[in-house]
Structure 1
Amino acid sequence: MASLSQGVTKGKKIVLTASRAENSIYGYDPFVAFTNTFPHKLFPRSFLKDWFEPLTNPDGTAQFMPYGLRKAEALLMDEFGEENVVSANAAELDKFVGKDTKLICITSMDPAGLAYVSTTYNSLIGFGGDALNAAEFRWLMDRPVMKRKGIKKLLGGAGVWQINEAGLKDSLGIDYLFHGEAEGALIDAIKRILNDEKVETDIHGGKPTPGQIPLIKRAACYGMVEVTRGCGRMCQFCTPTMRKRYSVPLDVIMKEVETNIKFGSEMIFIATEDIFLYKCKEKFKPNKEELVKLYKSIADYPGVRYIQVSHAALAPIVYDPSVLEELAPILLEKSRWSPEYRPSYRQKFISVEVGIETGSTRIMNKYMKGKALPYSVNNWPELVLQGVGNMNDHDWWPLCTLMTGLPDETEDDLLRTLELIDNLKGSKTFLTPLLFIPIEEALLSKAKRVSLEGLTELQWEFITQCWRQNIDFWAPDDKLWIHSMIFSVYWTISRWKHGRHSVKPVMKLAGFPDSFLGGAFVSTSDGKFEPHFEIPLADELVSREIEKQSAEAVSKSSDN
């Protein structure tokens, strides 16, 4: 104990941390974390004390940290020694930051509340300040330990671009911003920082080879394990398409499963841009045998209580629905989502995030031409309906994202999306409407962002039609009080912020029928969801063109 006390007093050379919002595990419910995108003033401080639960090891170090930070931690421990590197929760930083500390490394996905969900829902609510993610990041950076002289601060993570966009670097006391993947450039940059050499404020990572990617040494939040990196479908609003696709070997995956369980996680969260990318065949066709082997290996590992998958594409399971049939028993047994967890859930189900994005084949051809492979995006609405139907047949209830505001979007594009949403009535889904946000590294990074103030009535219909379906499916017994709350909040607060285009769509969300209000879009669905489509495969030339564009995008990104 004496040596530990001495080490704590002197501090560690490099300390890693994250905000409470980003390194809590919320009872192994990652979807609860989305509430951090809501206005922070809606949450009393007394409530937040219990809401956030960053867990601590007996030695004071953080039990869980975001996966990306754990990867950086492993790189730093290998280079500088485990005795010089530590990850600590925000409230425990004083125990590890001392006279020997030279650098504090921070990670954040949403430090200024400018990510897709934060921008959309903070604006929609319309009062209560900026997102809780942003408020918690400020709380971390305002701690006295962060202001000690002689200690440099480096911020990385998926949200690092927000600091420059919001002009917050100086006010938050951040010295360096690390953009991109850490494995190829982080160590060299930190060596130079520690040697007091001149280092550019904005540091850009390279494109690592698989051999440069380290194994995590401690548990990640939700027991996260990366099984693929990169994508290749060429969605222009997304960053993974700029990274070369790579499937992690099973033995490497299982070593990280072992580490997560050893250090206290009960869940394994599968990090991937698409669950079906794992060792996929040509044109993104799923490799059923390898997928079953992967998930059975994880499910059979002692101590794994839950398995959660992050993202999935629809095209692979339209091509081969038997993949769902094979995986469903494995994942259902390990699902967090059951009546035992929440009595409002009618049965046990599998949840995964699915990007629908639009119902317009014109928009798909312009910005997401590879999203439907091995099919053509010319049949995108039918593919979406069939894919969701196939998922529902095997107790997969997807959380589906859709967006408005992509460059050059027209009213006809929006009508096609609204028709698709209408045709999804009766499906077992959670529809999440989002506003388009240009993200660093994406091909559309220079595009104009859309704001709530400029939304048309059709765009408001897009948002409210999604939430009408969510209320109908997920909260049918609570409609009365939900409708009353929406009506009251809108007419007392939100109406004056959102303007006249929002009136009819929001009143429909408050329970008034389409037949009474009319408006820019009127639902015609009978609520029956029974898709049966035969969808033709894409032309070979289309597949080759997308593969060529993907390779060029990855190469260009590497050069930059």
Structure 2
Amino acid sequence: MTNHHGKEFLGFLATGPAVGIPENIWKWLACPKMKTDELGRPIQAPYGMRKIEAALIDAGFKAAIIDPDHLNKHLPYAKALMFSHHDYFAFGPPSSTWWGITRKEPVNYKSFMELVNRPEIKKEKERGLKILAGGPSVWQWLWREDMIEKLGVDSLVDGEADKVVIKLAQMVLDNEPLPKYVYIGGDEAPSVDEIAEIKGASVNGLIEIMRGCARSCRFCSVTLRPTRYYPLEKIEKELLVNVRNGVKHGIIHSDDVLFYGAIGIHPR
């Protein structure tokens, strides 16, 4: 987990292999380790993970984002381990381009493989730990179905999981079998009021201001989701969470930032 020295676009280096220098130096340049508290909770975490964490906390679950280096402190007591990744198997354009040119595995892919193959995770999996995978690149598992069983993933969650994750967490606690694949379509997307506000700082102060897009580009899956504008009060609350946690700069994010508040669009 990293904030790329506070330089968001340095993250693109982490989508490639070490070139011309040792890998540990490459990692320090692209993705230095994040500071954590005594429990292993990172001082900043990816925004999407913060949203899921907040949804679970608001629903009464004991949930936290834990830096991979500190998982061993918590795994013996955990009921579920939830993964998110921007590019699980390096199928994304930057990673696949790097891999194609250099013929070397990208750092982000290698790091994830090292994490999921840790002995302590396999040990707890045998005990009954449930593993769920989500995030923006969860679609990649559908092209590597062999890895689902090999890595012991119980459920894939594809889409805006703000509401669904609460149901899945309860199923874990109730020892109910989890669905292998959950797809959240536009009709099931959460409304603005159903989207929790982050509890801890996001990486480099990134916050979203809307979801969905009404441009109707035929090649883009974002148009399948309803347009929802965050009210200014909700945006301010998340900005203040970052400020209170020492983040002095920020990034506003959406599927189309310039579309925010567009005249003639009726958001849901």
The two structures share one fold, judged by TM-score above 0.5: yes
Task: Tell me if the contact between 1:141 and 1:173 (Cα under 8 Å) persists in the aligned partners.
Answer: no
Report the Cα distance in structure 2 between the residues aligned to 1:87 and 1:214, rounded to whole angstroms. Answer: 15
Given candidates 94, 107, 111, the residue that maps to 2:72 is 94
Matched residue, 1:54? 34
1:67 and 2:47 aligned = yes
1:80 and 2:60 aligned = yes
Matched residue, 2:217? 235
Matched residue, 2:140? 162
1:35 CA drift (Å): 1.3
Judging changes above 3 Å, is the alpha-carbon distance between structure 1 residues 231 and 42 closer, same or farther for their aligned structure 2 residues?
farther
Matched residue, 2:152? 173
Aligned length: 259
TM-score normalized with structure 2 length: 0.89
What pairs up with 1:156-555 in 2 under 5 angstroms? 156-167=134-145, 168-205=147-184, 206-282=188-264
Task: Tell me if the contact between 2:159 and 2:183 (Cα under 8 Å) persists in the aligned partners.
Answer: yes
Judging changes above 3 Å, is the alpha-carbon distance between structure 1 residues 260 and 38 closer, same or farther for their aligned structure 2 residues?
same
State the identity as a percent.
29
Structure 2 counterpart of 1:120, one-letter code: T
Task: Tell me if the contact between 2:192 and 2:229 (Cα under 8 Å) persists in the aligned partners.
Answer: no
Task: Tell me if the contact between 1:185 and 1:204 (Cα under 8 Å) persists in the aligned partners.
Answer: no
Judging changes above 3 Å, is the alpha-carbon distance between structure 1 residues 277 and 93 closer, same or farther for their aligned structure 2 residues?
same
User: What SS does the aligned partner of 2:250 have?
Assistant: strand
Higher relative contact order (CA 8 A, sep 6+): 2
1:59 CA drift (Å): 4.1
Task: Tell me if the contact between 2:79 and 2:130 (Cα under 8 Å) persists in the aligned partners.
Answer: yes
Task: Tell me if the contact between 1:64 and 1:219 (Cα under 8 Å) persists in the aligned partners.
Answer: yes
User: Displaced runs of 4+ in structure 1, greater than 4 A?
Assistant: 40-43
CA offsets 1:410-456 (integer angstroms, 9 cap, x no match): xxxxxxxxxxxxxxxxxxxxxxxxxxxxxxxxxxxxxxxxxxxxxxx
Structure 1 counterpart of 2:212, one-letter code: G
CA offsets 1:170-205 (integer angstroms, 9 cap, x no match): 222222111100123111122112211122111223
User: What SS does the aligned partner of 1:153 have?
Assistant: strand
Report the Cα distance in structure 1 between the residues aligned to 2:171 and 2:19, rounded to whole angstroms. Answer: 41
User: What SS does the aligned partner of 1:122 have?
Assistant: helix
Report the Cα distance in structure 1 between the residues aligned to 2:27 and 2:73, rounded to whole angstroms. Answer: 20
Judging changes above 3 Å, is the alpha-carbon distance between structure 1 residues 31 and 54 closer, same or farther for their aligned structure 2 residues?
same
Structure 2: which 5+ runs fail to align?
none
Given candidates 7, 11, 15, the residue that maps to 1:37 is 15
User: What SS does the aligned partner of 1:240 have?
Assistant: helix
Task: Tell me if the contact between 2:42 and 2:66 (Cα under 8 Å) persists in the aligned partners.
Answer: yes
1:137 and 2:119 aligned = no
TM-score normalized with structure 1 length: 0.44
CA offsets 1:278-305 (integer angstroms, 9 cap, x no match): 111138xxxxxxxxxxxxxxxxxxxxxx
1:58 CA drift (Å): 4.3
User: What SS does the aligned partner of 1:65 have?
Assistant: coil
Task: Tell me if the contact between 1:111 and 1:134 (Cα under 8 Å) persists in the aligned partners.
Answer: yes
